[in-house]
Amino acid sequence: MKYDIEKFKNILEGRLSKKRYIHSINVADKAQKLAEIWGADDEKAYVAGLLHDICKDIPHTEQRKLIELSNKDVTDEEFVIPQLWHGIAGEVYCRTILGIEDDDILNSIRFHTVARKNMSLLEEIIYLADLTSADREYPDVDYMRKLVKKDIEESMIYALQYSVSDVTKRKSLLPKHTIEAYNGYIYNSKKARKTDDSE
């Protein structure tokens, strides 16, 4: 399916701050590049990256109304942390208002902040593109930008370690999806190492 990228950009310009709009363009660009590296659909990656923060700048009252329409698992932790609402609200908005039906795009938007167990390749790409886009600045960002080109599984582990550490330092709640994602990637990594050792 072909998507009207210019239409989406126009909608974003009307809904986001300039800084957030630039971030969305950067994430879309990064997602497209990662899709080309890892063999995902680059158009879907661009669309998901572009729209991942579409509800970030709307009032929390509007976000809450949208997440109440979610047909995906919204955890108790997510309900009480407004900073996590925009991904859930964004998925609902893209599905109900923009008419996007592709589950992989919708899930990539839904879980781009909290991650989850057994993420698809596209979901991983959007999660990592959000962390490594051109506008991001944090101590390990250059290392992350190199790692995402070499090993996507190790990138997810490193990114989730960073996220868990950041959340616990702030004494905030860890969403169930994030815990399950971290445990899932660590489990798979250990299982893979055992298989390698036995060969």
Please report which confidence band the pLDDT of residue 73 belongs to, taking 50, 70 and 90 as the band edges. Answer: confident
pLDDT at site 161:
95
**What is the reported pLDDT for 2?**
87
* Structural domain boundaries in the chain: 5-198
pLDDT of residue 169: 94
Residues 78-101: tens digit of each pLDDT: 999 999 999 999 999 999 999 999
Q: Tell me the mean pLDDT in the region 11-33.
A: 98
Of residues 178 and 198, which shows the higher confidence score?
A: 178
62 CB-near residues (< 8 Å, 6+ apart): 55, 89
For residue 189, what pLDDT is reported?
84
Confidence of residue 71 (pLDDT cuts 50, 70, 90): confident
3-state secondary structure of 184: helix
Mean pLDDT over residues 160-183, rounded?
95
Tell me the one-letter amino acid at 193: R
Both tokens of 41, joined, read: 């659909």
Overall average pLDDT of the 41-62 stretch: 98
Average pLDDT estimate for 134-140: 93
Q: Which letter, b or e, does each residue of 147-179 get, where b requires 16 or more Cβ atoms within 10 Å of its Cβ?
A: bbeeebeebbbbbbeebeeebeeeeebebbbbb
Instruction: Domain 5-198: give its CATH code.
Output: 1.10.3210.10
What's the pLDDT score for residue 199?
52
Amino acid at 69: L
Looking at residue 114, its pLDDT comes to 97
Q: What proportion of the chain, given as a percentage, has pLDDT over 90?
A: 90
Residue 16 identity:
L
What whole-number distance in Å separates Cα of residue 181 and Cα of residue 172?
17
pTM: 0.94
CB 92 within 8 A of CB 66: yes
